[in-house]
Amino acid sequence: MDAAARYVAAMADRGPLDIRWDLAPLRHKRHPSAEWVEPRHPLGALLRGMLGITRVIWRHTDAGPMAIPGRPAPSGGGLYPIEAYVGGPDGLFHYDPVHEVLEVLRTGDHGPARICLTAVFWRSMFKYGDYAYRLICQEIGVLRTQAEVVAATLGMTVTFGDADDSPLGLDESRESPLAVLHVEPYERVCPPEPARPPREARPLPLPFPPGAARDLHQAADTTPRTRRPAQGVRAGTVDLRDGLHARHSPVGGFRPAPVPLADIVATAGLADCPDLDLYLLALRVDGLPSAAYRYDGDLRRVHAAPLESLGSGPLIANTREALTTAAAVIVPVGDPLAGTARDHRDQLIETGASLQRATLAAAALGLTSRIHSDGACEATDRVLGLPGPARSLSSLLVGVPRSRGPDLVLRFPDAREGGPKARPEHPDQ
Ligand X SMILES: Cc1cc2nc3c(=O)[nH]c(=O)nc-3n(C[C@H](O)[C@H](O)[C@H](O)COP(=O)(O)O)c2cc1C
The residue among 39 and 70 lying less far from ligand X, judged by its C-beta, is 70
In this structure, the dihedral spanned by the alpha carbons of residues 222, 227, 232 and 236, taken in order and rounded to 10 degrees, is: -110
Closest residue (Cβ) to ligand X? Answer: 74
Q: Is 368 in the site for ligand X (CB under 6 A)?
A: no
Torsion of CA 86, 89, 90, 94, to 10 degrees: 10
Q: Are 241 and 149 in contact (CB under 8 A)?
A: yes
Percent helix, strand and coil across the chain, each to the nearest 5: 30, 25, 45
Among 76, 198, 313, 332, binds ligand X (CB under 6 A): 76
- Least Cβ distance, residue 256 to ligand X (angstroms): 18
Q: Is 223 in the site for ligand X (CB under 6 A)?
A: no
Q: Return d(Cα 426, Cα 429) in angstroms, integer.
A: 9
Q: Contact with ligand X (CB under 6 A): which of 370, 377, 396, 402? A: 370
Instruction: Find the part of the chain contacting ligand X (CB under 6 A) among 74-82, 182-190, 199-207, 301-309.
Output: 74-82
Residues 44-63 that bind ligand X (CB under 6 A): none
Question: Who's near 64: CB < 8 A, 6+ residues apart?
Answer: none
Q: What is the CA radius of gyration of the chain?
A: 21
Cβ at position 360, least distance to ligand X in Å: 12
By the rule CB under 6 A, 28 interacts with ligand X? no
The pairing of beta strand 55-61 with beta strand 114-120:
unpaired
CB-CB contact of 236 with 361 (8 Å): yes
Q: Is 195 exposed, middle or buried (0-12, 13-18, 19+ CB in 10 A)?
A: exposed
387 binds ligand X (CB under 6 A): no
**Which residues, in sequence order, are CB contacts of 349 under 8 Å at separation 6+?**
137, 138, 140, 141, 144, 179, 229
Give the residue, chosen from 43, 92, 371, 386, that forms a contact with ligand X under the rule CB under 6 A: 371
Instruction: State in angstroms the smallest separation of the CB of 176 from ligand X.
Output: 18
Cα 28 to chain center, whole Å?
Answer: 16
Pick the binder of ligand X from 31, 372, 391, 402 (CB under 6 A).
Answer: 372
Quick check: 177 binds ligand X (CB under 6 A)? no
CB of 352 to ligand X, least distance (A): 6
Q: Is 249 in the site for ligand X (CB under 6 A)?
A: yes
Nearest to 397 by CA among 329, 349, 312, 350: 329
Residue 313 touching ligand X (CB under 6 A): no
Give the interface segment with ligand X, choosing from 132-140, 201-209, 266-274, 325-333 (CB under 6 A). 132-140
Stretch that binds ligand X, among 73-81, 100-108, 195-203, 287-295 (CB under 6 A): 73-81
Task: Tell whether residue 318 is a contact of ligand X (CB under 6 A).
Answer: yes
Site for ligand X in 326-365 (CB under 6 A): 352
Cα 409 from chain centroid (whole Å): 20
CB of 424 to ligand X, least distance (A): 27
Q: How many residues bind ligand X (CB under 6 A)?
A: 20
Q: By CB neighbour count within 10 A (0-12 exposed, 13-18 middle, 19+ buried), where does 404 fall? A: exposed
Nearer to ligand X among residue 75 and residue 176 (C-beta): 75
**139 near ligand X, judged by CB under 6 A:** yes
| Residue from 3, 4, 7, 75 in contact with ligand X (CB under 6 A) | 75
Q: Helix 341-364 to helix 3-12 angle, to the nearest 10 degrees?
A: 50
- Least separation in angstroms between residue 83's CB and ligand X is 15
Give the residues across from 301 on adjacent strands: 293
Binding site for ligand X (CB under 6 A): 70-71, 74-78, 135, 138-139, 142, 248-249, 318, 352, 370-374
